[in-house]
Amino acid sequence: MRLYSTGKYGLDRIAYRMNKENWAFRDRTNTPRALNSDDVRRVISNWAEYGGIVFEKGTKWRPAYETLNLDELPFRSDRAVFPIELLRAVAEVRMERTRKPSDHGKNHETRFYPLAGVLYCAHCEQLAESQEDPRLRSPLSGQFANGILRYRHKPGVKCGIHNRSVPSAELEQDFIRLMGLLMVKPEVEHLMLEIAIQADNGRQVHEQRDFEQEKTEALALCYRRIEAAVNLYKEGTIDKAEYLRLREQNEREIAHWESRTSETEQLGLEFALCVEAVDKIHRLWTISSDEDRQGLVRNLFSSVTYDLDRRRITDFRLKPWAGRFLTVRAGLHELEQAANVKENAPQQDRQGACTELLHTGLLTIPLPSLQEAVFTLIERLYAGISRPDKAITGKSQPKTERNNEVKRLDSIGWTVPDIARYFDVSIPRVYQILKGQ
């Protein structure tokens, strides 16, 4: 309240400062957590209730742009939580800052960001993991500013990063290179299946043989039961209702066995789906709309973690049904290195050499864990690219001369809209410059 009443701080800056000073916000379950701009907004909007005033409508239903005569409001000092003068100052600043939004009709400039919904801040992920609190995770949302599409950090949350956003083109370029590492040729699917089987020491092979035998015997038994029911019905031993019941029961069991697949077959189906999903993203990315890209990404990925300071992907997770594909794909990269294939060789040449090496029967590799597979692919993604020692920033230097000129024009009578048009900046930015922010 005190910071807001000065008129020098916005909701985001107050949230940053409170978090820096280790203040916490208690949610409706009385659990402390870090503040964000929405928490500050909720506190500020209840200035009337803190002064003992009871309106007919709750804060949620009262528009912030509503003009009130503060001198006529019945503040009650006996019920006030904060000093009355402080609450008056907060109300004045709030009414001065808020404007009734203009109705521009339907928004035709709605944009889709392909990675929105699965993209998260790497620094916030570390905090959430260290404190074992998943609520500290911060998704990166889309923003269109100054003619550039960007992914930006959640406002009002301070996690130690210097950059708050990254151009979408730069991030998506890394993402599509990652998809290139996940791609495999359709004819190499059997190779990946062999790697998975070898990693389990052939367990799936024995299970498949046992399953096929059990399936064949069960189907033969069902067909014999149906034939026996037909003979009994012909001889008049059973009536038509009993015959139909027996036939329906065995036909259901036949359908059940025919629909069942072995673990190896299920693994093959999963690999085929993953190969198709990866190929579709890589092949259709440049010709698809942003909305279609978003659907393709969400179909395969659960999360992508990005470091805004280092400008690189640090972690990612596929859907649970694609986890085995990821570990095998990383194992295939190990095979490529074991085959002594040149790093600059075409992808199909590397995979072809791996196929020949595996068919010799002399190569068996253990599959990495899911986390190891992710790290392996990320290392290959940024191979040859030096890791920056400090945050990469594109921020411009403070425009001291421009700001001084803004103040001079204001002093000689220029209006704020005219100054904004002259320097091609927003009207709120002109007010911030005049206030020394």
Give the pLDDT confidence of 34-50 residue by residue, as tens digits.
888 888 888 888 888 88
Average pLDDT over residues 223-239: 87
Average pLDDT over residues 65-71: 80
396-401 long-range contacts, CB within 8 A, separation 24+ = none
Is 363 a residue whose pLDDT tops 60? Answer: no
Cα angle at 172 between 177 and 163, to 5 degrees? 120
CB 55 within 8 A of CB 48: yes
- Confidence (pLDDT) at 398: 59
Query: How many other CB atoms sit within 10 Å of the CB of residue 20?
Result: 9
- Confidence (pLDDT) at 418: 83
Is 361 a residue whose pLDDT tops 60? Answer: no
For the ranges 20-34, 40-54, 196-210, the lowest mean pLDDT is seen at 196-210
Half-sphere exposure of 132 (CA within 13 A, CB side): 0
Average pLDDT over residues 413-428: 81
CB 34 within 8 A of CB 20: no
Band of pLDDT at residue 436, cut at 50, 70 and 90? confident
Band of pLDDT at residue 62, cut at 50, 70 and 90? confident
- What token pair was written down for 175? 């993402």
Is 175 a residue whose pLDDT tops 80? Answer: yes
- Confidence (pLDDT) at 242: 86
Band of pLDDT at residue 145, cut at 50, 70 and 90? confident
Residue owning tokens 């367990």: 203
For the ranges 9-13, 119-123, 143-147, the lowest mean pLDDT is seen at 143-147
Is 350 a residue whose pLDDT tops 60? Answer: no
**Inter-CA distances, 303 with 140, 290, 291, 317, 334, Å:** 11, 18, 18, 5, 24
Band of pLDDT at residue 151, cut at 50, 70 and 90? very high
CA–CA distance, 86 with 83 (Å, rounded to integer): 5
Is 258 a residue whose pLDDT tops 80? Answer: no
- Confidence (pLDDT) at 202: 47
Band of pLDDT at residue 187, cut at 50, 70 and 90? low
pTM equals: 0.61
Is 360 a residue whose pLDDT tops 50? Answer: no
271: enclosing H helix or E strand: helix 263-284
